[in-house]
């Protein structure tokens, strides 16, 4: 297995958000985590990525056998865990292309590889940019600065395509996207699908799953996964809502 | 990341603090006419120079230190400072690098300034100022061939008295301000550059200043003159060893550009900023001014200021000549308890004069930083133009950045543009970079360097690399 989350308990500012979450993701799989607002969906990906302010009070996270909670944030990324943000931050003064190159080289260096030669890098980036239907001028703009919501999300996927993570975690990647942007983003994510790679989608709505077909759907309610199933579970949620599961978990 | 960690990230040790043990020939602390006569005598100066100094001294006695800057420091006891210090045997100064005290060379090595390598490889002539006396000057022949004079100011006073009489104090008058008057009275060394008409200086000129003897104020005096259509690029870089007592540094730099001349003056300053409480750092009160005397002349100041406990510095341009151009590109970094009040003055006198100001301030730790800029357009400066860009970047939440732009506009045909921004390196930005595999330290340096790139690109190549490295060292923390 690639990612194993066992009985994870996480507290944020004194209140417990994840209350014994267990999840296993294997290579080649696409998992969707769904659930009502406040269930702890974003907390899960944030904890896996290593965000400050989340206290793990119990349980474990292992990635390819390594204890993720013992790793620095950048080490997690270097190991192949990549988080796509719901609200990517703006970094004025730092060109997009510079961030991409620094990130790629940091990961290569961590793997004991040489830094990528500039021409090879440019070729790679142009190809991915093209695929994401982004204008080359994006590269020269400051990271996310003045980007529209859709542009920011495309940029997150562009980074994924360049960095080629083993496990791509996408937090509400569909929020704020119109249907055309959604199609492009979904195309990007689908292109990441492979035997060696896994994808974890955190989403509130079913509509993203019309474009990216998940292998497993989990329903996260009140800090626990209360139900797992195949893609049909997502459709059921679409028609029935979450209430029937929320009531069940309260017991 | 907690703000405490953020602070650790920006805290760093001064890596260039050490003292070279070269016996100094130092006068006892104190300042009176006899001290000035001693300095003038030591330098073998003519009578008129002594009189010039004494005149400055008498004017200084009547002046009071400026209090308008956004700085906080205890009063300086000018009688507690020693005003002269020189390596022991000034008479048998080395004629080449081979003869230079190996300890001095070692010092340069520690600073990461391999003098001979730098001089040879980069083709840079170095007039190394070490404790107030020039120890070595290289590449003089090549410069002489081009007709360029590059020597210490003391030599120039002896060898080129007419040029000195004509130009010294002509840009920064003796009594211009408190620190300039003090400098005029007691300056001990510095550089002199004269580029004759039509000559482009064949290499970049570089002087490394270094404060060394304990408790000795350094009063450098630099004078650069470019005749008609002449050009020169001058680099000034400074480092200092660790100290317990505050060291006063009050330099004066004067630039004169005649018709169609171009002077580019670049500084990287990395003096000891003091310990965590700000104790022991350098006080840097500098007067730098360029006079665009001739039509179409151009003077460009580029500075990277990372050191000193207190910086008080406003490199300025007096745009006298028609269509002359003044430029100021600045990066100022403060950390710990550092204070900086810095900026520029652009005085538009001639018709069609233009000025550009790009100022980037980075404040971290508990430091406090101000940009103070004056753009003055005189009544005859028809069609004058100024563009000012003034940006501040804050790291952590206990530092401060302030902007004081002043504008005095004396005619209706001038155009002024002013842009200013303040931003903050946020924990979210660092987290974002880290989730891409970039370490916290590299992320800070990436953001800071991105912020400064408009200024760095104005620096000569090898200086730009040095400046980037310096910024990384300055903001290096206990991370990793």
Q: Is A152 on the interface with B (CB under 8 A)?
A: no
How many Å apart are CA B362 and CA B335, to the nearest integer? 8
Which positions in chain A touch B9 (Cβ < 8 Å)?
none
Would you call B74 exposed, middle or buried from its count of C-beta atoms within 10 A (0-12, 13-18, 19+)? exposed
B63 token code pair: 């002046």
Nearest Cα of chain A lies from the Cα of B448 at a distance, in angstroms, of 8
> Max alpha carbon distance in chain A (Å)?
60
How many Å apart are CA A152 and CA A146, to the nearest integer? 9
Q: Do B438 and A88 touch (CB under 8 A)?
A: no
Question: What's the CATH class of domain A3-250?
Answer: alpha beta
Which positions in chain A touch B450 (Cβ < 8 Å)?
91-95, 98, 142
As averages over each run of 10 residues, the pLDDT of chain B (480 residues) reads: 46 46 64 87 89 94 85 81 62 51 52 45 39 47 85 89 94 93 90 94 70 56 96 76 62 96 89 72 89 97 84 92 96 84 93 94 85 93 94 85 89 90 85 93 86 81 69 51
Q: Do A89 and B437 touch (CB under 8 A)?
A: no
Q: Do A89 and B446 touch (CB under 8 A)?
A: no
B375 token code pair: 């753009």
Tally of domains in chain B: 1
Q: Which of A83, A91, A110 sits opposite B435 (nearest CB)?
A: A83
Residue B264: strand pairing partners: B233, B300
- The predicted pLDDT at position B97 comes to 57
In a domain, B85, yes or no: yes
| DSSP structure class, residue A116 | P
B7 token code pair: 């602070």
Q: What is the DSSP string of B234-261?
A: EEEEEE----SS-EEE--EEEEEE-TT-
Residue A229: strand pairing partners: A217
Nearest Cα of chain B lies from the Cα of A111 at a distance, in angstroms, of 11
- The predicted pLDDT at position B70 comes to 80
How many Å apart are CA A198 and CA A219, to the nearest integer? 18
How many Å apart are CA A219 and CA A33, to the nearest integer? 6
- The predicted pLDDT at position B235 comes to 85
Q: Which of A52, A94, A110 sits opposite B450 (nearest CB)?
A: A94
pTM above 0.80, yes or no: no
| Closest residue of chain A to B479, computed from CA coordinates | A72
Half-sphere exposure of A240 (CA within 13 A, CB side): 14
Q: Which H, E and C letters describe B419-475, residue by residue?
A: EEEEEEECHHHHHHHHCCCCCHHHHHHHHHHHHHHHHHCCCCHHHHHHHHHHHHHHC
Q: Is A78 on the interface with B (CB under 8 A)?
A: yes
Which positions in chain A touch B432 (Cβ < 8 Å)?
85, 88-89, 91
| Closest residue of chain B to A140, computed from CA coordinates | B450
Q: Do A103 and B436 touch (CB under 8 A)?
A: yes
- H or E segment and range at residue B268: strand B262-270
Ranges of residues in chain A whose predicted pLDDT is under 70: 247-251
Q: Do B435 and A95 touch (CB under 8 A)?
A: no
B50 token code pair: 């002594």
- The predicted pLDDT at position B112 comes to 55
Q: Do A91 and B2 touch (CB under 8 A)?
A: no
Nearest to A121 by CA among A133, A107, A105, A110: A105
| Closest residue of chain A to B445, computed from CA coordinates | A94
| Closest residue of chain B to A53, computed from CA coordinates | B1
In a domain, B337, yes or no: no
B439 close to B479: Cβ distance less than 8 angstroms: yes
Mutation target for B interface from A94, A98, A170: give the one with most B CBs within 10 A: A94
Which positions in chain A touch B453 (Cβ < 8 Å)?
93
Nearest to B10 by CA among B332, B363, B341, B273: B363
Which positions in chain B touch A88 (Cβ < 8 Å)?
432
- The predicted pLDDT at position B134 comes to 43
Which positions in chain B touch A72 (Cβ < 8 Å)?
434, 439
Q: Do A73 and B423 touch (CB under 8 A)?
A: no
Q: Do A94 and B446 touch (CB under 8 A)?
A: yes
A109 token code pair: 């260096």
Nearest to B423 by CA among B397, B401, B392: B392
Which positions in chain B touch A107 (Cβ < 8 Å)?
437
Domain residues for the domain of B62 are: 3-326+349-356+425-475
Which positions in chain B touch A98 (Cβ < 8 Å)?
446, 450
In a domain, B310, yes or no: yes
Mutation target for B interface from A75, A91, A141, A163: give the one with most B CBs within 10 A: A91
Nearest Cα of chain A lies from the Cα of B175 at a distance, in angstroms, of 42
How many Å apart are CA B452 and CA B140, to the nearest integer? 35
In a domain, B342, yes or no: no
| φ and ψ at residue B318, rounded to 5 degrees | -105, 110
What are the percentages of helix, strand and coil residues in chain A, rounded to 5?
Answer: 40, 30, 30
Q: Do A89 and B429 touch (CB under 8 A)?
A: yes
How many Å apart are CA B200 and CA B196, to the nearest integer? 9
Three-class DSSP category at B159: helix
Nearest Cα of chain B lies from the Cα of A235 at a distance, in angstroms, of 32
Q: Is A91 on the interface with B (CB under 8 A)?
A: yes
Half-sphere exposure of B109 (CA within 13 A, CB side): 7
Which positions in chain B touch A83 (Cβ < 8 Å)?
435
Which positions in chain A touch B440 (Cβ < 8 Å)?
74
Nearest Cα of chain B lies from the Cα of A52 at a distance, in angstroms, of 5
Q: Which of A51, A76, A102 sits opposite B438 (nearest CB)?
A: A102
B99 token code pair: 């003869």
Predicted complex ipTM: 0.94
């Amino acid at each position: 297995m690639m990612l194993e989350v066992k009985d994870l308990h996480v507290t944020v500012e004194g209140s417990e958000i994840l209350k014994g979450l267990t999840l296993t993701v294997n290579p080649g799989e696409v998992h969707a985590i769904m659930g009502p607002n406040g269930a702890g969906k974003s907390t899960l990906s944030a904890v896996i990525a290593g965000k400050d302010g989340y206290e793990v009070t119990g349980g474990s996270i292992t990635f390819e056998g390594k204890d993720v909670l013992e790793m620095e944030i950048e080490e997690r990324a270097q190991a192949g865990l990549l988080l796509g943000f719901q609200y990517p931050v703006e970094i004025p003064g730092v060109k997009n292309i510079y961030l991409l190159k620094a990130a790629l080289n940091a990961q290569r260096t961590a793997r004991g590889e040489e830094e990528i030669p500039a021409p090879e890098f440019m070729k790679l980036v142009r190809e991915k940019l093209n695929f994401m239907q982004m204008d080359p001028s994006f590269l020269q703009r400051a990271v996310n600065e003045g980007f529209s919501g859709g542009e920011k999300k495309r940029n997150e996927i562009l980074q994924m395509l360049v960095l080629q993570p083993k496990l791509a975690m996408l937090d509400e990647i569909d929020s704020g996207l119109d249907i055309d942007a959604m199609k492009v983003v979904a195309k990007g994510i689908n292109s990441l699908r492979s035997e060696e790679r896994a994808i974890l989608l955190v989403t509130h709505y079913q509509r993203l799953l019309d474009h990216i077909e998940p292998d497993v759907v989990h329903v996260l309610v009140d800090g626990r996964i209360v139900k797992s199933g195949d893609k049909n579970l997502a459709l059921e949620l679409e028609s029935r809502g979450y209430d029937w599961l929320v009531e069940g978990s309260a017991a | 990341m907690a703000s405490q960690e953020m602070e650790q990230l920006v805290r760093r040790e001064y890596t260039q603090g050490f003292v070279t043990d070269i016996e100094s020939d130092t006068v006892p602390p104190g300042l009176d006419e006899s001290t000035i006569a001693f300095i003038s005598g030591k330098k073998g100066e003519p009578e008129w120079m002594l009189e010039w100094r004494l005149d400055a001294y008498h004017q200084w006695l009547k002046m009071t230190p400026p209090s308008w800057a956004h700085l906080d420091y205890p009063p300086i006891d000018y009688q507690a400072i020693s005003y002269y210090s020189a390596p022991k045997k000034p008479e048998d100064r080395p004629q080449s690098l081979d003869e230079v005290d190996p300890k001095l060379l070692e010092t340069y090595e520690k600073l990461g300034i391999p003098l001979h390598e730098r001089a040879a490889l980069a083709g840079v002539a170095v007039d190394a100022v070490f404790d107030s006396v020039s120890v070595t000057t290289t590449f003089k022949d090549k410069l002489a061939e081009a007709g360029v004079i590059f020597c210490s100011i003391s030599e120039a006073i002896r060898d080129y008295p007419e040029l000195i009489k004509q130009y010294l104090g002509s840009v920064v008058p003796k009594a211009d301000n408190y620190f300039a008057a003090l400098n005029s009275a007691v300056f001990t060394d510095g550089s002199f550059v004269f580029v004759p008409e039509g000559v482009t200086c064949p290499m970049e000129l570089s002087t490394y200043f270094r404060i060394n003897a304990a408790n000795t104020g350094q009063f450098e005096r630099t004078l650069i003159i470019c005749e008609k259509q002449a050009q020169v690029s001058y680099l000034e870089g400074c480092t200092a060893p660790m100290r317990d007592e505050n060291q006063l540094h009050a330099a004066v730099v004067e630039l004169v550009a005649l018709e169609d001349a171009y002077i580019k003056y670049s500084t990287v300053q990395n003096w000891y900023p003091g310990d965590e409480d700000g104790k022991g750092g350098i006080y840097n009160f500098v007067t730098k001014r360029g006079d665009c005397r001739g039509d179409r002349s151009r003077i460009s100041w580029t500075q990277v200021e990372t050191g000193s406990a207190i910086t008080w510095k406003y490199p300025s341009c007096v745009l006298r000549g028609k269509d002359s151009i003044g430029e100021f590109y600045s990066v100022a970094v403060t950390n710990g308890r550092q204070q900086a009040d810095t900026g520029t003055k652009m005085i538009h006198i001639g018709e069609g004069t233009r000025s550009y100001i790009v100022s980037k301030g980075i404040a971290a730790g508990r430091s406090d930083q101000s940009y103070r800029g004056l753009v003055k357009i005189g009544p005859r400066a028809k069609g004058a133009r100024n563009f000012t860009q003034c940006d501040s970047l804050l790291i952590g939440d206990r530092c401060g950045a302030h902007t004081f732009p002043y504008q005095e506009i004396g005619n209706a045909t001038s155009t002024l543009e002013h842009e200013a921004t303040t931003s903050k390196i946020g924990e979210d930005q660092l987290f974002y970079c880290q989730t891409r595999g970039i370490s916290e330290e590299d992320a800070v340096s990436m953001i800071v360097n991105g912020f400064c790139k408009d200024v760095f690109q104005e620096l000569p190549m090898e200086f730009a690399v040095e400046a980037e490295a310096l910024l990384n060292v300055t903001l290096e923390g206990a991370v990793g």
